Amino acid sequence: MKQLLAFLFLIVSGAAKAQTTDSAWMVNNYTKTEVYIPMRDGVKLFTTVYAPNDASEKHPVLITRTPYSCAPYGAKNWKAYWNSYQKAYFKEGYIIVTQDVRGRWMSEGTFMDVRPFNPNKTGKETDEASDTYDAIDWLVKNVPNNNGNVGVFGISYPGFYSTMAAASAHPALKAVSPQAPVTNWFIGDDFHHNGALFQMDGFSFYSSFGKPRPQPTTEGPTEFEYYTHDNYKFYLETGAVKNLTKLMGDSIAFWKDLMMHPNYDGFWKARDARNATKNLQPAMLWVGGLFDAEDCWGAWNAYKAAEQNNPGKAFNKIVDGPWYHGQWASNDGTHLGNVSFGSNTSAYYQQNIEIPFFNYFLKGKGDVNQIAEANIFISGANEWKTFAQWPPAGKEDKTMYLQTNGKLDWAKPSAAKGFSEYISDPAHPVPYTEDVHFNRTRNYMTDDQRFAGRRPDVLSFQTDVLSEDLTVTGNVVADLMTSISTTDADFVVKVIDVFPDDLTYTNVDIYAEQDPACAYPMAGYQMLVRGEIFRGRYRKSYENPSAFTPNKTEEVKFELPPIAHTFKKGHRLMVQIQSSWFPLVDRNPQQFIDIYHCDDKDFIKSDIKVYHSAQYASKIILPVLK
């Protein structure tokens, strides 16, 4: 025990010494200034600039534009970059810039969520691309000793602003990295997935972030006061979405927009960041997380749009690792929840991809030959792979069919009749994770699904034990033949890696290292590899929803976000199907009515049948890497 304590002391004291050394070095070798940069319409945006004191050479500029604040404010108050991998950019002599976007925190002007890109601006018209252009133009003309090369990066909402920056076409902008970029808030990012409202994220975010900010301020908005920290209890007792709207109040503008635009109309289409991916001039590095609970969709699809809209572009690459939202920028990329990745994947990305990317394009240092078209971490196998295209040329779409008795197999069912069924009861929705908690977890993306399979309203289908490794790289397609007793329903499809019952697995939990009795039982673990929901009314069109005819067999077919995973020999592949994922997603009343304005009394049970017969063969289509 004494040896352990001594070892821990050395680690802690060593880390403290490194932090002190790095922070002292930065403060002694850099100067922080705060400036207001004028936009073309006269609005001024608050900007912090960390510039190296070294005047012996010219330095590149690296910008993050954010709605989340330039804090800490004050020229003598420094952001703790020394605790982050971004300290490497200071060591490389970058000019580090952060800007409060229009209408947020200390910037002037009026904020608009996911402000639409306007490719035909004239005169003093603005959008986020023009604001970035004007910021870059001011910086290269006014910050001493810059080398005229500018990069932009950011994660999540700042990823959206990075996409907009790429569309600015400023000649000094040489490299952009949108990371988990907000791209489409109806189809797949943050607040909707396939038209289903991710109420827990939406309500918790906008009840604070969405509060009006009439004047520039350094003070953040207050958060909503929940009467319980059991979120399943809170959302179930609150009831219909319109009751959340009452709690939100009248001042949250974008929540009102959400409620007014339940379908994929012009409002949402104008806010699709893919509109800004044409004629991109800078080198592009798109970054995403395979287990990102917020913006898993954006990186893949914005990259794809940029590929299609810029044929022959020299540098438009994608990186996707086994990460939660922003984990690639953290110090620890070794695991998520109970699942280990075998190495520090975040450090690998930082040292081998991101920093070399900016160094090459902004400093002319090193090379980028090691950055392939697609740089993908294959979970399960726990290894990085590079591909000349994404999805890989070597993948083959192969169909697995749902079978009688919970089987999943390559062979199409031959029985004339066959179905599995469950009762979907909105009064008892299926939880998205097993534990009781307050904030939405990030670990649910790899959570054990055994708890769900024990419910009568969750269908489970699994293969026999795999005789060889099965690697899946790309979008999984769920193609269900179903009938429901009502006029609407949701469908959640989960792709799961079932670990062997006799598995010996080194758990990543520190408590398990100290006391093996605390280890999570990983033998038989049912690892969520990908889960996605689809609101059934949109099975024919996101723009024009349609009711189900009760008890009529219909096809519900949709695409899950890409996966990159090896189901190892000795494991099984499982598919689970259910009709609620609560309180992550709002409940469907299971009637074809206005979900955002319906009453608690409108929620009814539905008998859901999923068919697996010769005529009506439900299936999943797997992009198998050959």
Q: What is the mean pLDDT of residues 236-244?
A: 98
pLDDT digits (tens, 9 = 90+) for 205-219: 999 999 999 999 999
CB atoms within 10 A of CB 266: 10
Same domain, 316 and 436: no
Assess if residue 22 is contained within a domain. yes
Helix (H, G, I), strand (E, B) or coil at 109: coil
Write the CATH number for 223. 1.10.3020.10
Confidence band for 515, pLDDT divided at 50, 70 and 90: low
In 3D space, the residue among 50, 57, 42 whose CA is nearest the CA of residue 72 turns out to be: 50
- Checking if the pLDDT of 16 tops 90, the result is no
Percent of the chain exceeding pLDDT 70 equals 94
Picking from 335, 357, 387, the residue at the C-terminal end of a domain is 387
**CA separation (Å) from 149 to 40, 261, 280, 355, 397?**
22, 41, 16, 15, 43
Confidence band for 7, pLDDT divided at 50, 70 and 90: very low
Same domain, 240 and 358: no
- Checking if the pLDDT of 595 tops 60, the result is yes
Assess if residue 193 is contained within a domain. no
Q: For residue 77, what is the DSSP state?
A: -
Same domain, 426 and 558: yes
Confidence band for 514, pLDDT divided at 50, 70 and 90: low
Name the strands in the sheet holding 283-289, side by side, starting at the edge strand that comes first in the sequence. 30-38, 44-52, 95-100, 59-66, 146-155, 173-179, 283-289, 316-321, 374-378, 383-387
Picking from 223, 241, 269, the residue at the C-terminal end of a domain is 269
Q: What is the mean pLDDT of residues 443-451?
A: 97
Burial class (CB in 10 A: 0-12, 13-18, 19+), 421: middle
Same domain, 27 and 39: yes
In 3D space, the residue among 597, 583, 544 whose CA is nearest the CA of residue 259 turns out to be: 597
Q: How many residues does the chain have?
A: 626
**Cα–Cα distance between 413 and 406 in angstroms, integer?**
12
Position 508 scores a pLDDT of: 58
DSSP conformation letters of 553-570: -EEEEEEPPPEEEEE-TT
Instruction: Indicate the pTM of the whole model.
Output: 0.95
Assess if residue 190 is contained within a domain. no
Assess if residue 107 is contained within a domain. yes
What's the mean pLDDT when you consider all of the chain? 94
- Checking if the pLDDT of 505 tops 90, the result is no
Same domain, 102 and 227: no
Q: Which domain holds residue 244?
A: 198-269
Write the CATH number for 153. 3.40.50.1820
Position 5 scores a pLDDT of: 41
- Checking if the pLDDT of 18 tops 60, the result is no
CB atoms within 10 A of CB 516: 9
Q: What is the mean pLDDT of residues 29-43?
A: 98
Contact 522, 338 (CB under 8 A): yes
- Checking if the pLDDT of 481 tops 50, the result is yes
- Checking if the pLDDT of 285 tops 90, the result is yes
- Checking if the pLDDT of 13 tops 60, the result is no
Position 345 scores a pLDDT of: 98
- Checking if the pLDDT of 15 tops 50, the result is no
Picking from 331, 352, 387, the residue at the C-terminal end of a domain is 387
Burial class (CB in 10 A: 0-12, 13-18, 19+), 510: exposed
Helix (H, G, I), strand (E, B) or coil at 588: coil
Q: What is the mean pLDDT of residues 158-181?
A: 98
**Cα–Cα distance between 12 and 27 in angstroms, integer?**
22
Q: What share of the chain is helix, strand, coil (3-state, %, to 5)?
A: 25, 25, 45
DSSP conformation letters of 138-165: HHHHHSTTEEEEEEEEEESHHHHHHHHH
In the block, residue with structure tokens 């969709």: 297
Write the CATH number for 490. 2.60.120.260
**Cα–Cα distance between 109 and 102 in angstroms, integer?**
5
Position 2 scores a pLDDT of: 40
Same domain, 565 and 526: yes
**Cα–Cα distance between 161 and 357 in angstroms, integer?**
19
Percent of the chain exceeding pLDDT 90 equals 93
Assess if residue 470 is contained within a domain. yes
Position 520 scores a pLDDT of: 87
Same domain, 330 and 234: no
Assess if residue 189 is contained within a domain. no
Confidence band for 20, pLDDT divided at 50, 70 and 90: low
Same domain, 422 and 283: no
Position 157 scores a pLDDT of: 98
Assess if residue 165 is contained within a domain. yes
Q: What is the mean pLDDT of residues 506-519?
A: 61
Assess if residue 192 is contained within a domain. no
CB atoms within 10 A of CB 164: 29
Same domain, 214 and 157: no
Position 503 scores a pLDDT of: 86
Contact 603, 582 (CB under 8 A): no
Least confident of 108-117, 281-290, 513-522: 513-522
- 448 CA to centre of own chain: 20
Same domain, 69 and 29: yes
Q: How many domains does the chain have?
A: 3
Same domain, 123 and 31: yes
- Checking if the pLDDT of 10 tops 70, the result is no
Position 4 scores a pLDDT of: 38
Same domain, 165 and 313: yes
pLDDT digits (tens, 9 = 90+) for 536-554: 999 999 999 999 999 999 9
pLDDT digits (tens, 9 = 90+) for 350-369: 999 999 999 999 999 999 99
